Each structure stands twice: as C-alpha cells, then as structure tokens.
C-alpha cells in the first residue's frame, strides 16, 4: 500500500510550536515587561493587560495544539491495539497528520499483509486437510490391497498375484494358449486311511501336509490350481518359458517327496497315521482360462496335457514321480534308459513314454533319490 501524504503540520513541529507558545513566548514577554526602561509610562496598566492577554492566548493556542496531537496519538494507540484471538484486524481510517499519518499508513500495510497471510494459511489448511484425506484413503487402499495380496498368495504364486493386481482392463486374466507343465500329487490309499481316523484328525493331517506342499510349490514358482480331496493340482511355466517351468516342476516334485518322507517320519514317532504320495508331471500345450459362471470363476488349465499328467499321477506309486517324455527333454541331465517306461493308455494307439523317479531313505536315514532301475514295472494307465 502506498503511503498517503496530506498537507499538514508534522507532529514534531506541533510539539515545538506548542512548547514555544506555552513557555518560550510568555517568558520573553515577561522579560520584556520587566526590562523595558519605559515602565513609568502613563499607561503601564494597559501594556500589562495587553501582554497578559497575549500570554494567555499564546498558552491557550499551544495547549490546544498539544491537546489535539495528544488526542490523535491516543486514538491511534487505541485503534492499533491487538484484537482478541480469532478477530480479524481491520485497516485504520483516521484523520491524523504528519508522522501519525505515516504510522497509520504503515500499520494498514502490515494489517493487509497479515490478513493476506491469514487467508493464505487458511487456503493451505484446506489443502492440507484435503491432502490428509487423500492420504488416508490411499493408505486404506494400500492396506486393503496388501491384505488382498496376502490372501491371494495363499492360493497362487506371487508372480500370478502381481499379474492379477496390475490388471486394468476389467478382465483379470485373459484366456491364452501356452506350453505349461502340469503336476498332480495324490495321497495313496487315502480312503482306507481316513476310514480309521476321526474327521478332525483327517483335516489336521491334510492341513499339515498341504501347508508343507504349497510352500514348496510357491518357492518353485508354481501355481496352485486346485485341491481335489487329497489331491493337489499345480501348474508351472505359466509365467516363465517352457524349459524353466518343466525344471521347476521336477525340482518341486523331488522336494515334495523328500519333505513327505521327513513328515511321515515325524508322524510315526508321534504314533500318528502315515502315508505315501505319488506324483505325475507332464509338459505340453494347454489353455489357461477363467472357467465358471458369471459370479464364480476358476483360473485353470484345460487340455490333453492335463489329462496325461493326471494319468501319470495314477501310474506313480508311493514315493514315485512319473515324468512325461517332453518334460524330461528339458532337464539338465538326460534320464537313464532304465528309468524309461511305455504305458498303454486307454483310447490311445501310441504308448505313453514316461520316466520314473523314486525317493527313499538310505541306511543313515537320509532321504535321497533311488537308482532308476529300482523303479516299478510298467503297467496300463
């Protein structure tokens, strides 16, 4: 705000004039009266009266100027007092002169700047409140997303969860044809075993077994397709290439069989029922698709590769892994010919070639891979 300049006597000058009128001028007149040599004039009384009147008038004028300046200063002090908390300061509209006008003008400039700062603070406050609200919503969204991600990771591997979470086109997983490796793992003689157990014990046994197996699947980048009773169906290579998927499936199967042997050893020591697991693995083309109704869908694999893997699993005995020929072609080491078997499958003219791997415990109790020539003899699948 620009300073306003009015014509008028400055406050400092008014004080000087007031002091001169009230003190200096009367003193000079008094000195003049007492020092004049012509005090014996015929009319001394008239001169005294005239001088007294002049002195009185001078003092009144000086007092009036001083009182006016004092009133203006008092009014300025009152108007510039700090208001109570919460009240907005208003600019001054005073009729003052000289330096008091400059003070009022500067005060108005400060008030305007303070009011503008107050408006800016209020604006920033509203923005901060909106930002805090958005931040709270974002935090809640991230918490929900992390919770959903944790829930999904219980069913599928992390790579597939990431693929689900970043989908933006309304379709979580698109149907696609891809070369994958399918695994089936099934508990042998489960029906006979469960008939002699309490339902609660059966559920506890399956949960213990499934927890161990699924951790191994996810560690090897496998996707849990479904549980079918005591059977596990998993898919490998849905994210990576065919070779990596095949190797991950075989590696996971070996770890699952070894972990099952260790688990059964612990259960036997506790006097709990034990079992063995057979695993079938096959690699080939399949369709990854969302199958189901409008309100309930499963992401699964469909095709002859899946059916063949299921038949290999039925052929594998406890502690055995039946591996399809195409899966074996991707392994870093060639399977020995003694592990090769040809299975006569129903509704097929050509035999199904597979390789059998078996795990067992050596004399020291260590779980190792048994030599291929100890594998079971071929049979119809």
* Single residue among 114, 131, 154 that ends a domain in this structure: 114
* Single residue among 114, 139, 162 that ends a domain in this structure: 114
Same domain, 30 and 179: no
Same domain, 184 and 50: no
CA distance 15 to 2: 27
Residue with tokens 């592990």: 339
Tokens at 98, concatenated: 């000289």
Same domain, 262 and 333: yes
Tokens at 75, concatenated: 């009014």
Rg (CA), the chain: 51
Residues lower than pLDDT 70 in the chain: 1-56, 58-63, 65-67, 69-70, 72, 76-77, 79, 81-89, 92-102, 104, 151-174, 371-381
Same domain, 108 and 178: no
Same domain, 90 and 237: no
- Nearest CA-CA partner of 238 in 167, 295, 157, 172: 157
- State residue 35's pLDDT score: 66
For residue 152, is it within any domain? no
- Those residues whose C-beta lies under 8 Å from the C-beta of residue 107, and which sit 6 or more positions away, are 80, 92
- State residue 4's pLDDT score: 47
For residue 136, is it within any domain? no
Q: What are phi and psi of 199, to 5 degrees?
A: -55, -40
- Nearest CA-CA partner of 351 in 311, 317, 314: 311
Q: What are phi and psi of 95, to 5 degrees?
A: -100, 90
Tokens at 282, concatenated: 């096959």
Tokens at 244, concatenated: 């990596």
- Those residues whose C-beta lies under 8 Å from the C-beta of residue 116, and which sit 6 or more positions away, are none
For residue 148, is it within any domain? no
- State residue 244's pLDDT score: 92
Same domain, 236 and 359: yes
Same domain, 218 and 366: yes
- State residue 322's pLDDT score: 95
- State residue 30's pLDDT score: 65
The total number of structural domains in the chain stands at: 2
Residue 104 and residue 6 in contact, taking contact as beta carbons nearer than 8 Å = no
Residue 175 and residue 292 in contact, taking contact as beta carbons nearer than 8 Å = no
Residue 221 and residue 157 in contact, taking contact as beta carbons nearer than 8 Å = yes
CA distance 372 to 353: 15
- Nearest CA-CA partner of 379 in 336, 322, 327: 322
- State residue 84's pLDDT score: 65
Neighbours of 370 (CB within 10 A): 16
Quote the pTM value. 0.60
Residue with tokens 């790579």: 159
Q: 223: phi > 0 → left, psi -120 to 50 → alpha, else beta; which? A: beta
- Nearest CA-CA partner of 194 in 253, 275, 280, 122: 275
For residue 158, is it within any domain? no
Same domain, 250 and 360: yes
- Nearest CA-CA partner of 223 in 307, 290, 158: 158
* Single residue among 95, 114, 133 that ends a domain in this structure: 114
For residue 332, is it within any domain? yes
Same domain, 233 and 360: yes
Please compute, for residue 123, the number of CA atoms within 13 A of its CA located in the half-sphere on the CB side. Answer: 6
E strand map for the chain: 176-187, 223-228, 231-236, 277-292, 297-302, 320-324, 340-343, 352-361, 367-370
Give the domain extent around 27: 11-114
Report the CATH number that the domain containing residue 300 is assigned in CATH: 3.30.70.1230
Residue 97 and residue 8 in contact, taking contact as beta carbons nearer than 8 Å = yes
Round to the nearest angstrom and report the end-to-end CA distance of the chain: 98
Q: What are phi and psi of 356, to 5 degrees?
A: -105, 130
Same domain, 212 and 325: yes
Question: Which residues sit opposite 228 in a β-bridge?
Answer: 231
For residue 44, is it within any domain? yes
For residue 354, is it within any domain? yes
Same domain, 233 and 369: yes
DSSP assigned state of 294:
S
Same domain, 110 and 183: no
């Amino acid at each position: 705000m620009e300073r306003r300049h009015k014509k008028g006597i400055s406050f400092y000058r008014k004080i000087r004039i007031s002091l001169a009128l009230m003190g200096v001028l009367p003193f000079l007149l008094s000195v003049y009266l007492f020092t004049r040599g012509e005090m014996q004039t015929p009319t001394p009384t008239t001169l005294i009266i005239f001088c007294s009147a002049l002195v009185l008038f001078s003092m009144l004028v000086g007092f009036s100027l001083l009182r006016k300046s004092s009133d203006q200063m008092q009014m300025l002090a009152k108007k510039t007092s700090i208001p109570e908390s919460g009240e907005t300061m208003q600019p001054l509209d005073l009729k003052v002169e000289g330096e008091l006008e400059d003070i009022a003008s500067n005060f108005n400039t400060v008030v305007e700047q303070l009011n503008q700062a107050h408006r800016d603070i209020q604006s920033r406050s509203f923005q901060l409140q909106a930002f805090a609200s958005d931040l709270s919503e974002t935090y809640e969204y991230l918490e929900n997303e992390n919770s959903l991600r944790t829930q999904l990771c219980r069913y599928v591997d992390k790579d597939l969860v990431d693929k689900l979470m970043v989908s933006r086109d309304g379709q979580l997983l698109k149907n696609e044809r891809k070369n994958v490796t399918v695994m089936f793992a099934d508990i042998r003689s489960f029906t006979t075993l469960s008939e002699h157990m309490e339902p609660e014990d059966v559920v506890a046994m399956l949960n213990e077994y499934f927890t161990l197996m699924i951790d191994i699947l996810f560690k090897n980048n496998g996707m849990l397709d479904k549980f079918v009773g005591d059977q596990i169906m998993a898919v490998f290579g849905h994210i990576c290439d065919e070779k990596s998927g095949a190797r991950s499936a075989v590696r996971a199967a070996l770890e699952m069989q070894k972990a099952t042997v260790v688990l059964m050893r612990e259960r036997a020591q506790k006097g709990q029922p034990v079992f063995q697991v057979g695993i079938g693995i096959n690699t080939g083309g399949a369709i990854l698709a969302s199958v189901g109704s409008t309100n309930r869908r499963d992401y699964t694999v469909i095709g002859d590769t899946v059916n063949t893997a299921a038949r290999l699993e039925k052929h594998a005995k406890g502690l055995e892994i039946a591996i399809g020929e195409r899966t074996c072609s991707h392994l870093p080491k060639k399977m020995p010919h003694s592990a090769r078997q040809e299975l006569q499958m129903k509704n097929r003219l050509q035999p199904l070639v597979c390789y059998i791997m078996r795990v067992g415990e050596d004399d020291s109790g260590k779980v190792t891979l048994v030599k291929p020539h100890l594998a079971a003899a071929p049979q119809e699948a």
